[in-house]
Amino acid sequence: MTALTDTLRQICGAAHVLTHEDPTTDLSAWELDWRKRIRGRALAVVRPGSTTEVAAVVKACAALKTSIVPQGGNTGLVVGGVPDASGTQIVLSLGRMQAVRAIDPANLTITVEAGCVLQNLQAAAEAAGFLFPLSLGAEGSCTIGGNLGTNAGGTQVVRYGNTRELCLGLEVVNAQGEIWHGLTGLRKDNTGYDLRNLMIGSEGTLGVITAATLKLYPQPAAQLTAWAAVPSMQAAVDLLGLAHQRLGPGLTGFEVMGQFALSLVDKHYPQLRVPLWKETPWCVLLENSDSENEAHARGQFESLLEAALDAGCVTDAVVAENLTQARGLWHIRESITLAQAEEGLNIKHDISIPVSRIPDFVAETDALLAQHIPGVRLVDFGHLGDGNLHYNVQVPEGADGQAFLRDCEDQVNTLVFDQVKRFEGSISAEHGVGELKVGKLPLYKDPTALAMMRAVKKALDPHNIMNPGRVLG
C-alpha cells in the first residue's frame, strides 16, 4: 500500500479504492478501452461518493503531482478515459455519483451528478413530463459527465444541438482540488469568459465535472420514424433539404447508412431484419417530432416522402406504424458500431464537412482509398443532418487485423484527414481527440488556436496532472 492509496482510502472508504495489491482484483472495466485497443494499468481506481470527496482526492493527488484520469462509463472511442501503462495514474471514476439533485419545471432545467447514466437522466426527465434529448448508441452505459467531457453529439443534434448546447451550468473540481460552484440555470449571463464552454469538450484535461444543470424540453405530442432508400449521397442531401423545408423544427433525426454498414448489421444481427438495404447504396433514417398529433405528423411525413419520390431522391420508403417498429429501426442504426466491432478491427473517423460538400468528399475519398488500400471496406454512416460522417474503414476481408492497423492506419488517417482539410471540415466532430488523434491535431488545427489551447492548459493545470497526454499530447 502506498501513502497515496492510504490517503485515498481515508477519503473515500477502503471499499472504493481498488488496486492491484491483490493480484486477483480485475480492473479491466476501468483499464481496458471500449474498443479493446488499449489496456492501461492504474495505480488505483478511486470511486468518490461526493463532490467534497472528489476535491479531496484531487488535492491529495496534486500534492504528489500524481496524474488523474477522470472516467464515466468508459464508452469513449478515442482512448481518453483509460490510464496509461505506467501504473502511476489514478482513475477517478464518477460512477457512484448518480443523483438527480433537482428538477425546476418552470425554468425547464434538471441538475444531475456527473456519474448519472444518460438513459437514467432521460428517464428522470420523462418521469417529470419532459424530454432530455441527448441520445446515442451508448446511452445505457455512458454518463452525463463523459458526455460533457467529450461534448457528445448523437442522433438528435439536428434539432437540439450537441451536449454543450444542452448545458447551462457546471460544478467542477479544478486541478488544484478547488470546487467551482457554477450550477446556474441561467440562460443569459455575460459576466466574463465562458468557463462552462471551456470545460465542456476538454476530455478531462482541465478539471473534473461533478454535476451539471441541463436544459429540458417539452415532450413531442407525436414522434414518427421513416426509413428511406436513396440512390446516392447527393440524393440523401437533397432529401435533407426537403425535410428541413417540409418539417421545419419537427425534423429531429436524419441519419445516413451505407450499404456495407447495413450488410454488417444483417450479417451479425439477422434477427433485426434490416429493411431495403439490398436494393440501394444508401438508406436514410428520418424522425419527425410533432407538437400537434400523430395524424398531423403522419400527413407531413407522407407528403414529404411523396415529394421526395417525385424528385427522385427517394426510391422506396417505410414509415413505422407504431413505437415498437420505430424503436426497431433506430436499433438497427445504433447496432452498426457493434456489428463493426463483431466484424473485427477497424479504423474509426467522426469527421464533419459542410453538408453541401459531402457527396463530393465521399466520391473522391472513396476513390482515393480504393486506389491506395487494395480491398478496403468502407463502413460509412452517421449524422448527415449535422454534416457529421462516421467514415470508417474495416480491415480488408481475410487480412490480419493487427498487421493492417500497424501498416496502414496512419496512411488511411492521413489520406482521410487531408481530404477533410481540403473540404474545410474537422477531423473530430464527436468523439474528441483523446490519445488516438493527439499526434494529428497539430497537423490539422489552426496553429494560433493550438497555442491558445496550450496556454489555457498551462494556466489551469500547470503541473499537467489532469489526463496528461490527451488532447494536447
Q: Which residues bind ligand MLT (CB under 6 A)?
A: 137, 337, 348, 350, 382, 390, 392, 430
Residue range at the interface with ligand FAD (CB under 6 A); choices 5-13, 147-155, 270-278, 285-293: 147-155
Residue sitting closest to ligand MLT (CB) = 337
Longest dimension (CA), the chain: 73
Query: Is the Cβ of residue 16 or residue 390 nearer to ligand MLT in the bound state?
Result: 390
Distance separating alpha carbons of residues 16 and 32, to the nearest angstrom: 19
Query: Is the Cβ of residue 81 or residue 382 nearer to ligand MLT in the bound state?
Result: 382
Distance separating alpha carbons of residues 96 and 119, to the nearest angstrom: 16
Residue span 162-201 as binding mask against ligand FAD, x where in contact by CB under 6 A, dash where not: ----------------------------------------
Judged by CB under 6 A, the chain residues 413 through 472 that form the site for ligand FAD are 430-431, 434, 467, 470
How would you classify the pairing of strands 89-93 and 68-71? parallel
Distance separating alpha carbons of residues 357 and 355, to the nearest angstrom: 5
CB of 152 to ligand FAD, least distance (A): 4
Site residues (vs Zn ion, CB under 5 A): 430
DSSP per-residue codes, 411-472? HHHHHHHHHHHHTT-BSBSSS--TTTTTTTHHHHS-HHHHHHHHHHHHHH-TT--BSTTSS-
Query: Is the Cβ of residue 84 or residue 430 nearer to ligand FAD in the bound state?
Result: 430
Please choose, from the candidates 256, 262, 288, 287, the residue with its C-alpha nearest in 3D space to the C-alpha of residue 275. Answer: 262
Residue 172 backbone phi and psi in degrees, to 5: -135, 140
Judged by CB under 6 A, the chain residues 323 through 352 that form the site for ligand FAD are 337
Query: Is the Cβ of residue 136 or residue 408 nearer to ligand FAD in the bound state?
Result: 136
Residue range at the interface with ligand FAD (CB under 6 A); choices 70-78, 101-109, 397-405, 449-457: 70-78
Query: Is the Cβ of residue 136 or residue 283 nearer to ligand FAD in the bound state?
Result: 136
How would you classify the pairing of strands 109-113 and 251-258? unpaired
Residue 75 grid coordinates:
464508452
Residue 32 grid coordinates:
481496458
With CB under 6 A as the contact rule, the residue among 83, 153, 169, 253 that binds ligand FAD is: 153
Residue 143 within binding range of ligand FAD, rule CB under 6 A: yes
Helices 401-422 and 358-372, packing angle to 10 deg: 140
Helices 3-12 and 51-63, packing angle to 10 deg: 170
Size of the site for ligand FAD (CB under 6 A): 37
> Which residues form the interface with ligand FAD (CB under 6 A)?
34, 69-77, 80-81, 94, 114, 136-138, 142-143, 145-147, 149-150, 152-154, 203-204, 208-209, 337, 430-431, 434, 467, 470
